[in-house]
Amino acid sequence: MQAFLVTFSAVALAEMGDRTQLLALLLAARYRRPWPILAAIAVATLFNHLVAGGLGILLAGWLSPRLLDGIVAAGLIAMAGWTLVPDDPCEPPQMTAKSAFLTTLVLFFLTEIGDKTQIATAALAAAYNDLIGVVAGSTLGMLIADLPVVFVGNAFAARLPLKLIRFCAAGLFGVLAILFAVKAIAG
């Protein structure tokens, strides 16, 4: 139970203001389908953190922090670029529950790779040697943090300045990429 509570608390707090929380807001504003988005966040987080926890237990210490920071920096640069590409106004995206679920599932899984909550999950699974408790705590912590963001994004989507949000998000991803790249280079 201790592994669950510690992980739940750590992940819920770490997720506040995190890039995946920003992604949840953007997806909610775009698709306006909160339940499929939340379901996809749950599935992506569960799978991602299950893998992270398992690897944390099995391979603790094999991946250098420097290499991981470099991988995270490259992923953040890709996210910044993707965020800057506006939707094609001539071809509106399919606003179905299925497309919202699939898009969120893929993006959340990829964005969570190398994220602090994934790293925390791996470290806590290694520390507690309790894969189920840690993964359950991290998944529920992520959902608790993202739930209000998804519903706020859904409720205010028509009034949100999406172009400004897109540029701010790209800027934030870019700044984070630079910080991780500097951290990777500095070692």
The token pair that represents 62 in the structure block: 């094999």
Res. 186: pLDDT tops 80: yes
pLDDT for 80-130, tens place per residue? 776 677 655 444 445 566 788 999 999 999 888 888 788 888 878 887 889
CA distance 167 to 161: 10
pLDDT for 5-46, tens place per residue? 988 988 887 777 777 888 888 888 888 889 999 999 999 999
Region 131-137: mean pLDDT is 95
Confidence band for 71, pLDDT divided at 50, 70 and 90: low
The token pair that represents 55 in the structure block: 């690897």
Q: Look at residue 168 in the predicted model and tell me its pLDDT.
A: 76
- So where are the chain's domains? 2-186
Q: 151 exposed, middle or buried (CB, 10 Å; 0-12, 13-18, 19+)?
A: middle
Give the CA angle between residues 161, 166, 90 to the nearest 5°. 80
Region 134-146: mean pLDDT is 94
